[in-house]
Structure formats: structure tokens, C-alpha cells
Amino acid sequence: MQDNQKTVSQDGSDVFKTRGFQKIDRAVNQSIAVVKQAKLGKRNVLATSWKRLNKNLLGGLQKGKMYVIAGRPGVGKSAFSNQLIFDVLDTNKAKKLIVLYWTFEMPGYQQVMRSASKDVKKQMSDLLSVASPLSDIDFKTYASKVQKYGNYPIYFNNIPRSMEYIMNTNEELFNQHPEHTVINLFDHSRLIRGNEDTELRRLNTISKGCMWMQSKLGVINILLSQLNRNTLLVRMRMLL
């Protein structure tokens, strides 16, 4: 076979096309287009109001990417992710966004309470009247301040789901709202349902599912992950 002749399969089809390959010159042209869009300030990224974070994220959250927020229990992963989501929605009001909040660790109303508690400068224990009843004035203030959260395009799913369920949901949503960018927030990875018998296999299933959604549907995945010694060893093995 000569060098300039196409590689074909036995049935005469172009193997590169049928197997999903693209020649590098197409990637070269795509890179030029991306650089030009960036030069003109037209990159399709979801910036935050935090300049340092934007710099580390190369401009902001990008479609088709996964971001892992990892840390030990109780360090503030959920609080940070809540703040990040509301900030991204506030900063990108002109864009069509949908947030699927897979809040497996605590129900959606508690996530809202945690965020709104900062607005009224109260602790969760104060809002729940643990030590003493919340005053009428403070209750009215909370009821008024919390209303703004009802306007965000955030949808909670409080029941632990399998990766297959999550993928099917995203595909249905993509078909119904192709003009929207979907952000999945998983709180947290160890509560995603599955039959895997080891942490490594569970993480592998989650990783593959997220990569499929990112590649096929262009979603953004934010994954909260609890770290312990075993999880660290698993992640190290996955990187080797």
C-alpha cells in the first residue's frame, strides 16, 4: 500500500472515520479557532468572581470538564461548592445554565439553609432553635432573605442514584434542552450507588460515566470526594 493511499477496512470503508479518529490537521485548526476566540474575548467558559480561581481554571469552568473538590470530612467541601455554584450562576446570568445537584449526603433544604445562614449571619444551630427559640424578627428576616434562592435554576435529587441513572437523566435533559449547559454537582462520590466491591472499581465506574457525559453531552461535572488513607491510595493507583 502506498503512503498516500487511504487505510481501508475489508469492507472498503475508511477505518479512521468509522473508528472515530480525526487527523491532526483538524485539531490544529481547532486550536487556532480557540485561540482566536480567546483573543476576541468570546471563549465559552463560566467565569467566577474570583480572579485567582479563574486563573487556575484557565478562565473559569469549561464545558466537558470534571472538577474534583477533595478533602477530609468536615473541612467545608459542601459549603465551598454551594458558594461556587451560586457565584457561577450570578456571574453568568446571561447564559442558559441548569444545575443538577445530586445531594446525597443531606437534603436540599439543608443545603439552602447553610447558604442562607450566611445572609442572616446566623449559625445553623440558631436557625434550628437549638439553644433558644429563634426570635420573630430573625425568623422574618430569614424567610425574606432565603426567597432569592428560589430563582436559581438548581434542581435537587436527594436519593442516592446509580451512575447509569445519572447518565440517562443527563442524556434526556440534553435532548430536551440542547441549548443549555448542564452542571452536575455530586455530594459526594462515595454515596453514588453501585455494585462494585472495591473503592477502585467504584471510582472507575464514576470516572467512566463522567467522561462519557462530558464527551457526548458537554456537561460540567463537579465531584466532591471524601479523602481518607484508603481513598488516597486508590487515587494514587489510578494515576500510576
- φ and ψ at residue 214, rounded to 5 degrees: -65, -45
- Domain count of the chain? 2
Q: What is the pLDDT along the chain (240 residues), one digit of tens a residue?
A: 444 455 555 555 688 888 889 899 999 999 999 999 999 988 889 999 999 999 999 999 999 999 999 888 888 888 899 999 999 999 999 999 999 999 887 899 999 999 999 999 999 999 999 999 999 999 999 999 999 999 999 999 999 899 999 999 999 999 999 999 999 999 877 778 888 777 778 888 899 999 999 999 999 999 998 776 555 444 444 444
Alpha helices in 40-131 (DSSP H): 51-56, 77-91, 108-119, 124-127
Q: Which three cell numbers stand for residue 42?
A: 468570546
Q: Are residues 3 and 78 in the same domain?
A: no
Q: Are residues 36 and 111 in the same domain?
A: no
Domain span at residue 28?
1-43
Residue of 66, 25, 60, 67 lying closest to 43 (CA atoms)? 60
Q: Are residues 121 and 7 in the same domain?
A: no
Whole-number pLDDT of residue 240: 46
Q: Do 67 and 45 touch, CB atoms closer than 8 A?
A: no
Q: Are residues 29 and 123 in the same domain?
A: no
Q: Do 117 and 124 touch, CB atoms closer than 8 A?
A: yes
Q: Are residues 31 and 138 in the same domain?
A: no
Q: Are residues 38 and 56 in the same domain?
A: no
Q: Are residues 144 and 82 in the same domain?
A: yes
CATH number of the domain enclosing 78 = 3.40.50.300
User: Cis peptide before 188, with omega less than 30 degrees from 0?
Assistant: yes
Q: Are residues 19 and 134 in the same domain?
A: no
Cα–Cα dist 65/78, whole Å: 19
Q: Is the pTM of this model over 0.85?
A: no
Q: Are residues 37 and 91 in the same domain?
A: no
Q: Are residues 8 and 69 in the same domain?
A: no
Q: Are residues 143 and 234 in the same domain?
A: yes
Q: Are residues 90 and 188 in the same domain?
A: yes
Whole-number pLDDT of residue 8: 57
